[in-house]
């Protein structure tokens, strides 16, 4: 059961998303402060502010808080403008140097928002076409501040921005599901790197995934993070806008078939329930079973821990405590998602050994 602050918070989110007309009650000054702090915890203050702008002046936050929110939103928008320029620059540079690519998540998914500048940005994720060894060799020889390569990507910093160059968009711990997923990514890659969209407030065009790709990939991305550090409402809202675009475009695509194929059916039922129940989207035309129990369990975790689990009050102060807490949290889901829990450790051990050997020859 939601607290009053949480209920008010979701009302404002629905107003921002266009699934609710106005507030059903008036907020006190203290409630406005609590709601704004919750938005910060979930990294959705820019989105929430879009709801505030729609409210009659008498129903808005107190002046001091309104000004603080406005200033924070201006910083979010300015950061996005900077990120948009850097995203276009990075994509163009890789493309000119022989690595066709597309921008995953982040600045690409923001293009689905009514106001892309209001989505709080993170790092840049770019999916490169090419052999892993060639990508690793190029990045280590041309760039500074390069991190160790993982199964998924190799990271580096460009000025103040963290960039992750992906060998693949995502992965599954189950060998069977992972083989299916990687095969699908290979089939899809050419279409994704050829699909360009214009960035806001600029003439720059960047390659971004199609909606029919994102309706699978973004859910899988959320799924992957759920079994790592956790997820927040920003990721759920990303998927909300993917689904909205999917419905508006009338794409002929069997969601159930693909979700079953990649082991996402149960998780999808939970996330879809959250989106219908709390974000106000009508799911009837998507013919997806809604799982209230699973959805509530996931939502409880989101509200407790905040964006990407960073506000988790139970995660511990040192590395040992954080790892212990992570596995305690994961084993709560072992009955519902046995492969994700039981195959996690073997997957990482195998991949770490395999790629540490393969990548060692490219160092220095």
* pLDDT beyond 80 at 323: no
Quick one: what percent of the chain has pLDDT higher than 90?
Answer: 72
Q: If we measure between CA atoms, which residue out of 3, 45, 4 comes closest to residue 23?
A: 4
Q: Which tokens go with 329?
A: 């949290």
Query: 200 or 314: whose pLDDT is higher?
Result: 200
Q: If we measure between CA atoms, which residue out of 202, 307, 212 comes closest to residue 251?
A: 212
pLDDT tens column, 109-154: 999 999 999 999 989 999 999 999 999 999 999 998 899 889 999 9
pLDDT tens column, 236-259: 999 999 999 999 887 777 899 999
* pLDDT beyond 60 at 363: no
Give the whole-angstrom CA distance, residue 8 versus residue 86: 36
* pLDDT beyond 90 at 104: yes
By the 10 Å C-beta count (0-12 exposed, 13-18 middle, 19+ buried), 150 is classed as: middle
Instruction: Say what the pLDDT of residue 254 is.
Output: 85
8 Å CB contact between 133 and 358: yes
Instruction: Say what the pLDDT of residue 227 is.
Output: 86
List of E strands, the chain: 101-104, 124-128, 153-158, 161-166, 196-198, 205-207
Give the whole-angstrom CA distance, residue 144 versus residue 178: 31
Task: Kindly report which listed range (19-33, 79-93, 184-198, 323-337) carries the lowest average pLDDT score.
Answer: 323-337
Task: Kindly report which listed range (258-267, 275-284, 305-314, 334-343) carries the lowest average pLDDT score.
Answer: 305-314
Instruction: Say what the pLDDT of residue 359 is.
Output: 61
* pLDDT beyond 90 at 311: no
Instruction: Say what the pLDDT of residue 316 is.
Output: 63
Instruction: Say what the pLDDT of residue 105 is.
Output: 94
pLDDT tens column, 157-212: 998 899 999 999 999 999 999 999 999 999 999 999 999 999 988 888 999 999 99
Instruction: Say what the pLDDT of residue 85 is.
Output: 94
| Average pLDDT, rounded, for the chain | 91
pTM check: above 0.85: yes
8 Å CB contact between 99 and 140: no
Domains located in the chain, CATH noted? 1-61 (no CATH), 82-199 (3.30.460)
* pLDDT beyond 60 at 362: no
* Number of residues written out for the chain: 364
| 103 φ/ψ sector (left φ>0, alpha ψ -120 to 50, else beta) | beta
Expressed in percent and rounded to 5, the helix, strand and coil fractions of the chain are 60, 10, 30
Tokens 């360009």 locate to 196
* pLDDT beyond 70 at 317: no
Task: Kindly report which listed range (63-67, 145-149, 169-173, 262-266) carries the lowest average pLDDT score.
Answer: 145-149
Give the whole-angstrom CA distance, residue 346 versus residue 171: 14
């Amino acid at each position: 059961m939601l607290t009053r602050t949480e209920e008010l918070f979701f009302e404002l989110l629905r107003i921002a998303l266009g699934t609710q007309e106005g507030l059903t009650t008036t907020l006190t000054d203290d409630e406005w402060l609590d709601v704004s702090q919750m938005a910060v915890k979930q990294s959705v203050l820019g989105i929430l502010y879009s709801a505030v702008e729609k409210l009659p002046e008498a129903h808005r936050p107190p002046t001091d808080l309104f000004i603080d929110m406005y200033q924070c939103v201006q910083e979010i928008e300015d950061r996005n403008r900077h990120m948009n320029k850097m995203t276009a620059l990075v994509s163009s540079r890789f493309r000119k140097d022989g690595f066709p690519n597309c921008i995953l998540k982040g600045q690409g998914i923001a293009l689905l928002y009514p106001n892309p500048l209001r989505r709080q940005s993170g790092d840049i994720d770019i999916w490169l076409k090419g052999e892993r060894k060639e990508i690793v060799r190029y990045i280590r020889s041309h760039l500074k501040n390069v991190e160790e390569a993982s199964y998924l990507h190799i990271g580096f910093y460009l000025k103040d921005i963290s960039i992750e160059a992906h060998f693949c968009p995502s992965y599954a711990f189950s060998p069977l599901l992972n083989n299916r997923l990687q095969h699908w990514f290979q089939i899809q890659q050419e279409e994704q790197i050829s699909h360009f969209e214009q960035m806001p407030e600029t003439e720059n065009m960047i390659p971004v995934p199609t909606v029919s790709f994102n309706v699978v990939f973004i859910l899988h991305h959320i799924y992957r993070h759920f079994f790592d550090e956790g997820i927040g409402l920003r990721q759920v809202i990303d998927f909300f806008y993917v689904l909205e675009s999917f419905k508006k475009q009338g794409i002929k695509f069997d969601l159930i078939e693909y979700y079953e194929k990649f082991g996402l059916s149960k998780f999808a039922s939970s996330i879809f329930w959250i989106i219908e129940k709390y974000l106000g989207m009508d799911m009837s035309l998507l013919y997806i079973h809604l799982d209230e129990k699973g959805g509530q369990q996931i939502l409880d975790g989101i509200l407790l821990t905040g964006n990407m689990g960073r506000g988790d009050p139970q995660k511990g102060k040192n590395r040992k405590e954080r790892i212990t807490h992570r596995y305690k949290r994961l084993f709560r889901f072992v009955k519902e998602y046995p492969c994700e829990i039981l195959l996690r450790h073997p997957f990482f051990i195998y991949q770490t050994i395999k790629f540490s050997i393969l990548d060692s020859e490219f160092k220095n």
